[in-house]
Amino acid sequence: MIMASNIAIEKLSKDNYDSWKLQIEAILVKNDHWNFVTGAEPKPEVTGDADNATAVAKWISDDQKAKADIILSIHPSELSQIKNCKTSHELWTKLQNIYESKGPARKATLLKQLLFTKMTDSKNMNEHINEFFMLVDKLKEMEIEIANDLLTILLLYSIPESYENFRIAIESRDELPSPETLKIKLIEEANARKNKEIPTLHDSQRALYTEKKKYERYKQTESRQHDADGKRNNNHKFKLKCNYCGIFGHKASICRKKQENKNLMLNNNKSFKNNSAMIAETNETKQKVIFDTVLSCVDSQRNIFLP
């Protein structure tokens, strides 16, 4: 960063020439040195008289001040390209040739950037629009004018797919808005979406307060219910009547007689199953004996008729 009259600007690098140019120009104008840089105030011709010598000396002094302002605003890595420049105008022209080429390759590069620039959902809308129109301004400096309708369409299709409904609404109009109008509408749309996604602090506090109150009411209700159940149990502890045996003092779910009868039934079922198994086994044994006897008889008869 460079400090000039309490004004800080970022030093010139390979990536910030356009923004740097605007800021250093403002500083040079403020210091009355801009005419030396542009060449609007050339060096006086030397005539040899005293007044002329004074004017020449003053011009050289002011021109060197302008040159110093520019050099101090350039990053050290870029200084090697302008070290042989003698005047501020020569220095400025050299920087323009390096960073502001107007050849066909430069024009093609800027046009491709304008055509294929795309905004992602995570990118800020203001930043995207600034970058878009910066490319437009660079092309204008190279005397390439783009029609407003074409600029509107390019800007409209440089935004993400999540803006599809917005894009359709714009295209359904009888006339396309101007690029400046579309820029304003895009910023408004982005801000509206941002406000929907992020609740305000007031809304968050109100929601938290509501949830807290709901929880407190729940705890109070639960506590009253617990106390009521305790009192009800104490009052009716010995007044309950068992629906199974008819005796007071307990419920059917814990009735001993019910449990004893249940166990008795289980034992009877078990004995019945065991007896059934024994009968089935006995029957199976008898059937096997009969079957073996029949086979034995058949074999005996076969032996009788054998020669």
Rg of the chain's alpha carbons, rounded to an integer? 50
Q: What is the pLDDT of residues 20-47, one digit of tens each?
A: 998 999 999 999 999 999 999 999 988 8
Residue 105 pLDDT grade (very low, low, confident, very high; cuts 50, 70, 90): confident
pLDDT of residue 244: 74
pLDDT of residue 67: 95
For β-strands 7-9 and 2-4, DSSP reports them as: antiparallel
From 214, 162, 202, 210, select the one nearest 186 (Cα to Cα). Answer: 162
The number of angstroms, rounded, from the C-alpha of 121 to the middle of its chain's C-alpha atoms is 7
Percent above pLDDT 90 for the chain? 43
pLDDT of residue 40: 94
- Highest mean pLDDT of the ranges 40-54, 212-226, 229-243: 40-54
d(C-alpha 274, C-alpha 282), whole Å:
12
The torsion angles phi and psi of 3, rounded to 5 degrees, stand at -105, 120
78's CB contacts (< 8 A; 6+ apart) are: 12, 13, 14
Residue 221 structure tokens: 């209700």
pLDDT of residue 3: 46
Q: What is the pLDDT of residues 260-269, one digit of tens each?
A: 777 777 666 6
Q: What is the pLDDT of residues 290-303, one digit of tens each?
A: 445 544 544 554 44
Q: In this model, does residue 181 exceed pLDDT 70?
A: yes
pLDDT of residue 269: 60
Contact (Cβ atoms closer than 8 angstroms) between residue 36 and residue 62? yes
d(C-alpha 28, C-alpha 17), whole Å:
16
Query: What are the Cα distances from residue 39, in Å, to 4, 88, 94, 290?
Result: 22, 9, 13, 134
pLDDT of residue 202: 56
d(C-alpha 132, C-alpha 123), whole Å:
13
This model's pTM is above 0.75: no
Burial of 183 (C-beta count, 10 Å sphere; 0-12/13-18/19+)? buried
Q: What is the pLDDT of residues 128-162, one digit of tens each?
A: 999 999 899 989 988 899 999 999 999 999 999 99
As a whole number, mean pLDDT of residues 63-89 equals 92
150's CB contacts (< 8 A; 6+ apart) are: none
CA angle 68, 81, 12 (to 5 degrees): 60
N-terminal to C-terminal alpha carbon distance within the chain: 130
Q: In this model, does residue 205 exceed pLDDT 60?
A: yes
pLDDT of residue 294: 44
Q: In this model, does residue 210 exceed pLDDT 80?
A: no
Q: Mean pLDDT across the chain, nearest whole number?
A: 79
pLDDT of residue 183: 94
Lowest mean pLDDT among 17-26, 50-59, 137-146, 274-283: 274-283
Q: In this model, does residue 191 exceed pLDDT 60?
A: yes
Query: What are the Cα distances from residue 117, in Å, to 19, 113, 134, 148, 304?
Result: 19, 6, 12, 17, 111
Contact (Cβ atoms closer than 8 angstroms) between residue 114 and residue 136? yes
Largest Cα span, the chain? 168
